[in-house]
């Protein structure tokens, strides 16, 4: 079956602009996670959803970052007033449900802020 | 504070050899320890995972050894192949949040 998909695969934006990154989880997976991976580092947890609600958003670095999952499937990560330090690969993962630890990752969106 | 420490940062192994990557963790509340494999331009892929009530888990050429008292665990790749060349991440999890190590870049010489 189809895996986790993310769009766009690459996004270049200017400092100060607003961006949206989209994640389509594996069909039937109710838990969805966002991570950020900087060059040469491991993924860093940002937020996770169980259904439509954010169960844990403790990894969001500041209030410029926001994520939604209005219908419990597709999720959008939104970054306002982008900064050069936001440049990274943003990864999305999904799992069958909360407590089922096998998380399956998408290919990521490479965000470059110039 | 780095909750999951991984070593070495990079590793070169001859084809057919054993690749060993080590990790240590701080938080005894972690209850799930996965290893992920990542190829350039791809997302991490779950390779093998273990829970702390088990000391060893083997799947094909991949084995996790887990030492709960020392708060350490390791990945062994037997008969390493050039196709195993990738970056490997150890991780620890509790309450659905995965904490990753910084990764080990493994290169298998043909």
Facing residue for B45 by CB, picked from A31, A95, A105: A105
Contact B97 A105 (CB under 8 A): no
Q: Residues 6 or more apart from B12 whose CB is under 8 A from it?
A: B106, B107, B108, B109
Contact A105 B44 (CB under 8 A): yes
The predicted structure's pLDDT at residue B1: 60
- Over residues A73-102, the pLDDT tens digits come to 999 999 999 999 999 999 999 999 877 678
Comparing alpha-carbon positions, the chain A residue that sits nearest to B10 is: A40
At CB < 8 Å, which residues of chain B contact A? Answer: 4, 6, 32, 34, 36, 41-46, 49, 89, 91, 93, 95-103
> B56, B51, B45, B57: which is closest to B32 by C-alpha?
B51
Beta-strand pair A5-7/A104-105: unpaired
C-alpha span between B110 and B71 (Å, rounded)? 34
Q: Is the pLDDT of residue A1 over 70?
A: no
């Amino acid at each position: 079956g189809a895996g986790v998909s993310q769009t766009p695969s690459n996004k270049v934006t200017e400092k100060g602009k607003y961006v949206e990154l989209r994640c389509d989880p594996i069909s039937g997976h109710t838990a969805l996670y966002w991570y950020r991976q900087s060059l040469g580092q491991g993924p860093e947890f940002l937020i996770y959803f169980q259904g439509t609600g954010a169960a844990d958003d403790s990894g969001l670095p500041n209030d410029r970052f926001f994520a939604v999952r209005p219908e419990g499937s597709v999720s959008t990560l939104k970054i306002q007033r982008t900064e050069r330090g936001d440049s990274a690969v943003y990864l999305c993962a999904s799992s069958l449900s909360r407590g089922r630890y096998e998380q399956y990752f998408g290919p990521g969106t490479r965000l470059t802020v110039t | 504070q780095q909750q999951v420490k991984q070593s070495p940062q990079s590793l070169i192994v001859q084809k057919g050899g054993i690749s060993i990557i080590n990790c240590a963790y701080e938080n005894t509340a972690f209850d799930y320890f996965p290893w992920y494999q990542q190829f350039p331009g791809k997302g991490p892929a779950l390779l093998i995972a273990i829970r702390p009530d088990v000391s060893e888990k083997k799947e094909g050429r991949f084995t996790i050894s887990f030492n709960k008292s020392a708060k350490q665990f390791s990945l062994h790749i037997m008969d390493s192949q050039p196709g195993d060349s990738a970056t490997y991440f150890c991780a620890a999890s509790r309450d659905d949040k995965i904490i990753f190590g910084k990764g080990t870049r493994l290169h298998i010489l043909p």
